[in-house]
Amino acid sequence: MIHFVIPARDEAPNVPRLMADLAPHACRLGGRVIVVDDGSTDGTADELERHRGGVDLVILRHPRNLGVGAALETGLRAALAAAADEDAIVTLEADATSDLEDLPSLLARLDAGSDVVLASPHAPGGTITGAARWRRIASKLVSRSFRAAGGPPDVHTLSSLYRAYRAGALRRLGVRPRLVREPGFPGSVALLLDLHDAGCTVSEIPTVNRWDRRAGASKMSLRGTVPSYARLLAARVAQRR
């Protein structure tokens, strides 16, 4: 079985396109969609209900915004509660920028033996459309920095949220208070590093990240995100000494 986990905050304008993209895949695969509404104030949950179609949809709500990493934690825990070890858990963006036509390739890599597969816009053959040049450069810098600090050596985009996990790989992290140690945007990087350190096989496929399809501005605040990445990187470097 496949479980989709989608953190969302104030994504009501993007929900119709997201669900239109996702519904055919979720229905064909018999998948369950878990959306974690992270303190939205724009009626995101109502839009999801209106556009659910025939999708097996679960909406979990945070009463206030806790951060994308915290929403990822809630969604992954909910997926793992129902998943068998061989099930796939796919996380993706709520803003319809993830190319779901790449889903078969993600799942094929899991079937071929990978524990985690990332959809990477920086891998050969991938790209980002509609994003400012400085954002593309910053994304590459984050990935290169963590790769140099002992991250997966052959992965070009460590910060990608669009990825597929084997449920058993997440369970390999064992019993701990949090799967996702960072509550904000660096949470997906921290989780990937932990899985890599636990011996999980990490691979990637190229993808086109379509920022030009998204309605509204990015929810990422540089003021909070840059210091969080810096702390995580410093801790990583110290750990490797």
pLDDT in tens, 47-64: 999 999 899 999 999 999
The whole domain housing 64 covers 2-240
Q: Give the chain's domain count.
A: 1
d(CA 44, CA 37): 7
Q: Which position has the higher pLDDT, 166 or 228?
A: 166
pLDDT number for residue 240:
74
Helix, coil or strand: residue 223: helix
pLDDT tier at 103, thresholds 50, 70, 90: very high
Q: Which amino acid, residue 89?
A: I
d(CA 13, CA 34): 18
Q: What share of the chain has pLDDT > 70, as a percent? A: 96
pLDDT at 232 over 90: no
- Run of H or E residues at 70: helix 68-82
d(CA 1, CA 41): 32
The arithmetic mean of pLDDT across residues 127-155, rounded, is 85
pLDDT at 28 over 70: yes
pLDDT at 223 over 70: no
Quote the pTM value: 0.93
Q: Are 11 and 217 spatial neighbours (Cβ–Cβ below 8 Å)? A: no
pLDDT number for residue 42:
96
pLDDT number for residue 224:
66
The CATH number for 98's domain is: 3.90.550.10
pLDDT number for residue 214:
80
How many secondary structure helices (H) and strands (E) does the chain include? 8, 9
Q: Quote the mean pLDDT of the chain.
A: 92
Task: Record the tokens describing residue 212, joined without a space.
Answer: 């030009």
pLDDT tier at 142, thresholds 50, 70, 90: confident
Nearest-5° angle of CA 227, CA 228, CA 231? 85
Question: Tell me, what DSSP letter sits at residue 161?
Answer: S
**In the block, residue with structure tokens 């229905």:** 27
